[in-house]
Amino acid sequence: MQITHLRNATIVLEFEAFGQLIGLLVDPMLAPRASLPTLRYLSTSRQRNPIVDLPDNADAVLQRVTHALITHCQRGHFDHLDRAGKRFLRERQIPVFCMLRDADYLQQRGLRVESLMGPHRQPWSLGGHITPIACVHGHGWIGRMMEHGHGYLIELPGEPSIYLAGDTLLTPDVRHCLQELRPDVAVLPAGGARFDLGGDILMNAQDIVDASAGWSGELVVNHLQALDHCPTTRSAVHSLAQSHGIADRVWGPEDGEQRQYARSAESLSG
């Protein structure tokens, strides 16, 4: 399996299913730099989003996309599906996997939707199984304003199992997925996002270290240096991973960077 990190939470997974090459686009935010609103209105350092452009290889990677997967998209979450992302999916009539809650919303915008059956492990049309894992995108009053969505554990024949966490804090459900379902690879957010008021709405760099305990898989860290309300840097993640002896398991990719993953010895023996 190849993972290409484009920007923020937007990645492309490439793998083989039923003898065909699949390019699975996750949470497409494809807008140009500074074309979307700020998320820190009271900050003196506020910027319009995204704060960086897509990488130079984005067009070439997007040409290989055959399917898409959405973790959440309502209540103004443009950082996971913006107008440019919707237009890309609509014009190419790319099949879009999502939870049933989002199906009508996406269909009304002209997208070709294939909704999942519910929050349980289920056969997937691309082969293998997919399991939605609930997200918690903030607590208290700020949590009541957010669209929480779902992450997904994807298990494909002959490929490494991968957990795409979505926008979430480090919760018992996230820990259970890592420690009990034991994916080979986990893509976790570490942006430490928060608005001008209220608490954290996303994991931070320390949460990545905490999440690594009791589980031996590879970590891909996203939500870094792309939005004005996500202060965590790649260097901060790398430094903390080094100090805790897990740097060999943690990848905080640059935009446009790619990496190949194989099944772990643990999953091969299981």
Taking only the tens place, the pLDDT of each residue in 186-219 is 999 999 877 767 768 799 999 999 999 999 999 9
pLDDT of the residue at 144: 60
CA 216 to CA 214: how far, in whole Å?
7
- C-alpha to C-alpha distances, 260 to 134, 159, 189, 257, nearest whole angstrom: 27, 11, 20, 11
Strand order in the sheet with 67-69: 112-115, 95-98, 67-69, 20-26, 10-17, 2-7, 258-260
DSSP assignment, residue 233?
A: -
Residues (pLDDT < 70) of the chain are: 74-77, 137-148, 196, 199, 265, 267-270
Q: What residue has token string 């490494």?
A: 160
pLDDT of the residue at 192: 82
pLDDT of the residue at 73: 84
Buried b (16+ CB within 10 A) or exposed e, 194-229: bbeeeebbbbbbbbbbebbeebebbbbbbbbbbbbb
pLDDT of the residue at 145: 64
| Token reading at 236 | 């901060």
Backbone angles phi, psi at 62, to 5 degrees: -65, -25
Number of folded domains in the chain?
Answer: 1
pLDDT of the residue at 194: 77
CATH of the domain at 114: 3.60.15.10
What domain range is 182 assigned to?
2-269
Contact status, residue 72 vs residue 146, Cβ threshold 8 Å: no
CA 172 to CA 153: how far, in whole Å?
15
SS3 200: coil
Specify the pTM.
0.93
Q: What residue has token string 């979505």?
A: 166
Contact status, residue 106 vs residue 97, Cβ threshold 8 Å: no
pLDDT of the residue at 148: 58
